[in-house]
Structure 1
Amino acid sequence: MHIFRSRLAATLVAVLPLCAPAMAQDEEQHSSLTIGVGGAAIPSYEGSDDYRVMPIVQARGKVHDFAFWTRGTTLYVDAIPDPTGTGVNFELGPVVNVRLDRTSRKGIKDDAVRLLGKRDVAVEVGGFVGIGKTGVITSDYDNLSARVAVTKDVAGAHGSTVITPTIEYFTPLSMTTFVGLSASADYVGKKYGRYYFDITPQESLASGLDVYDRAGRGSGFKRMSVNLTAGKSLSGDLRKGWAVFGLAGYARVLGKYGDSPIVADAGSRNQWVGAIGVGYTF
């Protein structure tokens, strides 16, 4: 179980696209739940050029118009109830992420990075704020939204702050099909770079990778990513029943983080992800 969780945390973008069916809900339905399960091909650690196939579970729903959703190992809860119909929707609420990157040596394929040793589990707690609009371009049900999440590790792992701005657009093409596009970035504090990307002299001796200390000298943008998602209802209506989903994504490790030997020598700045799965909307 520990190995499975570490593989899940190797990327934040290996998720099933569960947003669009919720956007297409009947205006009179104030509570709903969508559960998705599937498989994803993801890097074995952030910055790796080796890939693993792993199972994933995602969820999205709302209770009396209060929405919640998951993204990888992150849970968002919107404390502002969603309005019905078209118009502007404001988002504000707590967010929690469990980061398990490199917490198990068995989940890392590269020998040198594995010899750097394990990292502790990070529990990142904070909040997010956002704004969205339903009924933008193609219909009364397409949605454009932007949000910013700010979290801090409270478990004593990297002990730093992570800021994640995200822009998403989803549109149903019919009652049975939707597509979506999202873009996001991660801005991290210096402790994050020091913990995951710097290499001490002792770690260099153990792994054979060069000593590196630039990532922990200050904060900066660590990664940007773009994801394309699509879904097809198997029941004839995206608002209920079974559906199949797919995701294709690209991310790039930026700047001094991409210059770290765990990326530049043992891995790659270019990160790819693909996922397929099925979901059921109650």
Structure 2
Amino acid sequence: MNQLSRILLLTLPFIVPAPVVAQEAEDRSSLTVGIGVASIPTYEGSDDSRMIFGPQLRGTVKEHAFFTRGPMLFFDAIPNRDDSGIDFQLGPVVGVRLDRTSIKQINDRAIEALGKRDTAIEVGGYVGIGKTGIITSAYDNLSARVAVTKDVAGAHESYIVTPAIEYFTPLSIRSFAGIGVSADYVGKKFGRYYSDIDAAGSLASGLPVYARGGADAGFRRVNANLTGGYSLSGDIRRGWVIAGMVGYSRMLGRYADSPVVAIAGSKDQFIGAIGVGYTF
């Protein structure tokens, strides 16, 4: 798998979201395999975009769910056996952060001159709770979770706390929609690694020296997305589905004030994706 495919694997939303899987409760197992294309910023904080493509999957095995959100892969160690629709979630998380790891994909001479960053492997855990059958029907789903991860590969060597809330609902037997909001709270070393510019970096890039990114831990950005899908097979629980997503992120505080964002990039980040998947 090439780097573009690996990035998409960790950034595209699942073709079939949580409420559709909830409708599979009787079967206890499901698998969705998909492929899609997305427009994403060339780096986090960039004002340019690029197109990427690659695979995606999600599923449930013996009442244990696995899924991706953003750059993270989650596994729920608590089996979902509660007929009341309440789903307690707890389990491991692993993610790969490829931000600025390839200079060729950045398309900005100043950022290129700062040099590439190492790949971060972020490992940790999450806790959450979800409820199926809460607002529009017996199959809609509202969930909240908090993930805590830390880089173990020696890149930024910091931690990330990611709270998130999501709501998904089937609109009919053939279509679904969803909305999600989340945020990233990062440690000092994270801001230092991705936001700060030392004297040598300033001389090479022409951007001013900046040392506030790693001054303290704080919220780096907030994210929101809308998801929708339509079954090509007549039933979103089985067969072919086409799905799309639009997302918006806002860089915050001293991370947004970094010349990497404020001068070379933009506080406003946009993502769009479309894909097709098959649910077994």
Shift of 1:17: 4.3
Shift of 1:8: 4.3
CA distance in 1, matches of 2:212, 2:8: 27
The code of the aligned residue for 2:4 comes to F
Give the alignment partner of residue 61 of structure 1, picking from 59, 62, 67: 59
1:263-282 matches, within 5 Å, as 263-282=261-280
1:244-259 matches, within 5 Å, as 244-259=242-257
CA distance in 2, matches of 1:7, 1:89: 29
Residue 205 of structure 2 corresponds to 207
Structure 1 residue 124 corresponds to structure 2 residue 122 = yes
Change (3 A) 1:224 1:66: same
Over residues 18-70 of structure 1, what are the superposed CA-to-partner deviations in whole Å (9 max), with x where a residue is unaligned?
31464343332011101121000000000000000100322110111100012
Residue 231 of structure 1 corresponds to 229
8 Å Cα contact 2:126/2:146 also seen in 1: yes
1:68-107 matches, within 5 Å, as 68-83=66-81, 85-107=83-105
TM-score, normalised to structure 2, is 0.96
Structure 1 residue 115 corresponds to structure 2 residue 109 = no
8 Å Cα contact 1:173/1:179 also seen in 2: yes
Structure 1 residue 37 corresponds to structure 2 residue 22 = no
Residue 150 of structure 1 corresponds to 148
Residue 183 of structure 2 corresponds to 185
The code of the aligned residue for 2:103 comes to R
Indicate the larger mover: 19-28 or 257-266: 19-28
Shift of 1:88: 1.0
Shift of 1:74: 1.7
CA distance in 2, matches of 1:66, 1:235: 26
Shift of 1:170: 0.1
Residue 4 of structure 1 corresponds to 4
Identity %: 61
Write out the 4+ residue segments of structure 1 that deviate beyond 4 Å after TM superposition: 5-9
Which consecutive unaligned segments of at least 5 residues does structure 2 have? none
CA distance in 1, matches of 2:152, 2:93: 13
The code of the aligned residue for 1:173 comes to L
CA RMSD after TM alignment:
1.7
8 Å Cα contact 1:243/1:280 also seen in 2: yes
CA distance in 2, matches of 1:226, 1:71: 12
Residue 136 of structure 1 corresponds to 134
Equivalent pairs, count = 280
TM-score, normalised to structure 1, is 0.95
8 Å Cα contact 1:14/1:273 also seen in 2: no
Which consecutive unaligned segments of at least 5 residues does structure 1 have? none
Indicate the larger mover: 198-207 or 70-79: 70-79
Change (3 A) 1:48 1:15: same
